[in-house]
Amino acid sequence: MAGEEIHVIGHINPDTDSVCSAIAYAAFKRQMTGKNYTAKRAGQINSETRFVLQKFGVPEPEYLSDVRTQVFDIDVVQVPGVGSDISLKRAWEIMKEGGLATLPVVCKNGQLEGLITIEDIAKSYMDVYDSCIIAKAETPFRNLIETLEGEMIVGDPDEIIQSGKCLIAAANPDLMENYIEKDDIVILGNRYESQLCAIEMGAKCIIVCDGSLVSFTIKKLAESKGCFIIKTPYDTYTATRLVNQSMPIRYFMKQKALITFQRNDYVDDIRETMAKKRYRDFPIMDLNGSYYGMISRRSLLGARKKRLVLVDHNEVTQAVDGLDEAEVLEVIDHHRIGSLETMNPVYFRNQPLGCTATIIYQMYREQELEISREIAGLLCSAILSDTLIFRSPTCTETDKKAAYALAQIAGIEPESYAAEMFAAGSNLSAKTPEEIFYQDFKKFVVNDVSFGVGQINSMTQKDLEDVRERMIPYMAKALTAHSIPMLFFMLTDILQGTTELLCAGNGAKELALEAFHLKDDTDQIILENTVSRKKQLIPALMQAIQQ
């Protein structure tokens, strides 16, 4: 699918409606627009939802924990890496052609070996006064040939210069004998006597300038003495300057304490590091640790915000982290309108129905799009889950009609299938109290009072009793972790239509007793005909807080 990815995502601690609606709406938008809409999840998949996805052969959406801008969202410059043995001259040419200030040096396996900058190249000219630098840099003869645009008359281009100094034979042969030593590189002209003297004195290489011819005698003598001969069209002055440019960049490049970033790093985190350093460019590594490209401080100005569609929620406290840095394009929801603010107008569809999946089913029908068996199964499952098999007071006739129509497409019988689905979700024996608590947990804020509410549904009272014994001690721990004054947990018996409400925190129990008009000495809070957090519990708690 072409184009930038648009994430369709539900709330944190996702339930079946949140996950299934994200998958279905992403599919709907792809059919409608051809754009790259992709379902994501903002939390761990619970047992019930996993059963649904496996039932209809749909893979779990990828986990997206934070939607802050990342290096992924920046146009990284694909500067090709170079080998550490290329010459300074070749590095300069590449940088000049590409308008680059920094060149990455990369190994054959893709690992970053170092960085060479324009400043490093300048220092190689201005700060070096060592005539032995060519050997210290372990310069390959092939670099000399390339830089001098020369021809090797005698010798092996792949051999490395490891000893000797570089000098110009400007004196007569008598004087040359006093300063030419073994393994030196001698730059000279077409004088036969000078060439002969350099070879006899043990020079490793003579560089013959001005394209001068090399006699047969000199070639034979050089071969016998192990002396290399390079012929260059340049004059002595130019050749001398170019010899320094033949050194491999590994001798001058930065290798230690390199500052690199990963493609999944957040821009907020790297901006501070970049501000403290005076480098112009920084290398980016892919998720395997291999070199990927380069960015500069200016690159951050063009960072693109992640684009989101929110389903089954519209409150910041229930949304994925970093929402304020993302661009929200749409909201599809069936809850109360909460605290979400956007920079631009968005498509907002909010209907008083029992499930977000019902809204998405309506949108498929409005656009006369075909619904596949898999999508129908997911949408039907979401409706059955959110309405507790039509027992929740949030359930409407529209939800029922949608569920039965979807069930027919999916080839399932709603009531018997729902029993299987809830049984899968009620198998909590292997789960930790933390996993159970966050299976379906949401935060709310009313008049600056914040509280959290979790819920677990089960078809059997025994399962709820087992959860109760483990949940009461855990809630005190969860209270500290969230730094909020009150927590509630609903143990909902689907068949009986009742909920036991567990309370933790200063004033939590008193608020619940006031909200449901129960006696002060009530020990165990049992709420008859109460199964819905959204329509029954939350409104009652909010009203009590406001009063």
C-alpha span between 348 and 361 (Å, rounded): 16
Encode pLDDT of 314-372 as tens digits: 999 899 999 999 999 999 999 989 878 888 899 999 999 999 999 999 999 999 999 99
The string over 298-319, giving b where at least 16 C-beta atoms fall within 10 Å of a residue's C-beta and e elsewhere, is ebeeebeebbbbbbbbbbebbb
Main-chain dihedrals φ then ψ at residue 178, nearest 5 degrees: -85, -20
The Cα angle at residue 509 between residues 503 and 514, in degrees rounded to 5: 135
Q: What share of the chain is helix, strand, coil (3-state, %, to 5)?
A: 40, 20, 40
- From the list 519, 453, 541, 435, the residue with the least C-alpha distance to 490 is 453
**pLDDT tens digits, one per residue of 36-52:** 999 999 999 988 999 99
| pLDDT > 90: percent of the chain | 68
Query: Is domain 433-546 given the CATH code 3.90.1210.10 in the classification?
Result: no
Give the model's pLDDT for residue 235: 94
Query: What is the average pLDDT across 218-226?
Result: 95
Q: Kindly state the average pLDDT of the residues 116-121.
A: 90
> Does 2 score more than 90 pLDDT?
no
Q: What confidence score (pLDDT) does residue 369 get?
A: 97
pLDDT 10s digits, 159-187: 999 999 999 887 677 777 778 889 999 99
Topology adopted by domain 6-69+305-426: inorganic pyrophosphatase (n-terminal core) (3.90.1640)
User: Cα(210)–Cα(468) distance, rounded to whole angstroms?
Assistant: 94
pLDDT for the residue 95: 93
Instruction: Indicate the pLDDT class of residue 128, thresholds 50, 70 and 90.
Output: low
In the predicted structure, residue 1 carries a pLDDT above the cut 70: no
Same topology for domains 6-69+305-426 and 433-546, yes or no? no
Q: What is the pLDDT of residues 428-468, one digit of tens each?
A: 777 889 888 988 888 888 888 899 999 988 877 888 888 89
pLDDT reading at 477 higher than 90: no
Q: Return the number of other C-beta atoms located less than 10 Å from residue 65's C-beta.
A: 12
pLDDT of residue 126: 74
What pLDDT is recorded for position 172?
A: 73
Domain 88-251, what architecture?
3-Layer(aba) Sandwich (3.40)
Return the domain boundaries, the chain: 6-69+305-426, 88-251, 433-546
Mean pLDDT score of the chain: 91
Structure tokens at 236: 């002595």
**Model confidence at 3, in pLDDT bands (50, 70, 90)?**
low
